[in-house]
Amino acid sequence: MVATTKVGVRRNLDGEQVRPLKLCIIGAGGFIGSHLCEKLMWDTHHSVLAVDVYGDKIQHLLAPGKSWSDRIEFHKINIKHDSRLEGLIKLSDLVINLAAICTPADYNTRPLDTIYSNFIDALPVVQYCRVNHKRLIHFSTCEVYGKTIGSFLPADSPLKKDPAYYILKEDESPCIFGPIEKQRWSYACAKQLIERFIYAEGAENDLEFTIVRPFNWIGPRMDFIPGIDGPSESVPRVLACFSNNLMRGEPLKLVDGGQSQRTFVYIKDAIEAVLRMIENPARANGHIFNVGNPHNELTVRELAELMTDVYCKVSGNPRPAVPTIDVTSMEFYGQGYDDSDKRIPDMTIIKKQLEWEPKTPVYDLMESTLTYQHTTYAQAVKKAMSKTLAN
């Protein structure tokens, strides 16, 4: 994408002029944060106080001499320990909290860190917003829904095909998790509890808030590649796992047969939804929004097949003789793993309130993402593999 050089007057969905805002974005250096900062710098007059421990993914925005350089500041802060955070929140008009541990492999192996990151560390942000009368957009997760009602029906039940048993609605669907010993649900439980805390602050103390539930946002700069820009022993999310396998010429590992179903939405589409939340507070305040694309539904096995086809196209590599192998969740994630069967968002509320719908089909978003992965990482992966063989 080419940066916009001229930005005209922005108007919200009701035709009102949008005044420039100062946003404190916590987690600005991550995947979602970097794309949001790009959108804000390139297409709006808003300014950003970018808070994160790492800023690698927004270095291109922080370089001096850009037309937007006076509208973005990077503050290297770990929100666990830094008293400067409240001062930055006081300076802002709106706070967006993206900070989280959100990698499934960590939910099993680091459940305490997961709970602290997604609940305990988020509490002061909510309280600073309430005390200082700042609006909050908090990023939650589609995992708060847990398992669908349909997953508890007999395998041959015709009700499994009834949308009432699997479509996930913000204001109706129950949140169903597995037993306590399945520590995979530590993330979902922590995210649900901070949602309930925010909602209670709104009800009792008039906190202005919006909660976002992302459904598998996909695009360039997502996650990390082990041993390249992340720890060698770490396990990233599924897209980065599969990308790493493809670049290494290894079979893609399908956990428990890859039967879980997911939907995928392009990051650029999703960021447009977030911008509408930012610029339309009267329509967004007090709401929880699913942000996903129900038309881009695949099983994880189908995802592996699609990614293999697309990667062979963008890289010019031949299709592998053994594209996938099945592994158990115990082998891949260890003790305590569990999963949800389907995650398909209902889009009624976001369509009504923000007039937003996703546009990008799954093949196109995958082609964009894997082109980036190949261009950015393939040579580094090849060098790392050569070094390993030499040793």
Residue 283: is its pLDDT beyond 50? yes
Share of the chain above pLDDT 70, in %: 97
Contact call for residues 130 and 89 (beta carbons, < 8 A): no
Q: Which residues are catalytic?
A: 187
In this structure, what DSSP letter does residue 342 have? B
User: For 375-380, what is the mean pLDDT?
Assistant: 91
Beta bridge partners of 41: none
Residue 140 reports pLDDT greater than 90 = yes
Strands, E assignment, 331-373: 344-345
Dihedral angle, C-alpha 268, 266, 98, 63, nearest 10 °:
-40
pLDDT at position 1, please? 45
Residues 321-358 pLDDT 10s:
899 999 998 888 887 777 788 899 999 999 999 999 99
- Which tens digits make up the pLDDT trace of 226-250? 878 877 777 778 888 999 999 999 9
Average pLDDT of the segment spanning 283-290: 98
Which residues touch 295 (CB under 8 Å, ≥6 apart)?
A: 263, 358, 361
Beta strand spans in 8-128 (E): 22-26, 47-52, 72-76, 94-97
Instruction: Give pLDDT, residue 230.
Output: 76
pTM summary value:
0.94
Structure confidence by residue, pLDDT tens digits, 60-77 = 999 999 999 999 999 999
- pLDDT tens per residue, range 116-138: 999 999 999 999 999 999 999 99
Q: How confident is the model at residue 382 (pLDDT cuts 50, 70, 90)?
A: confident
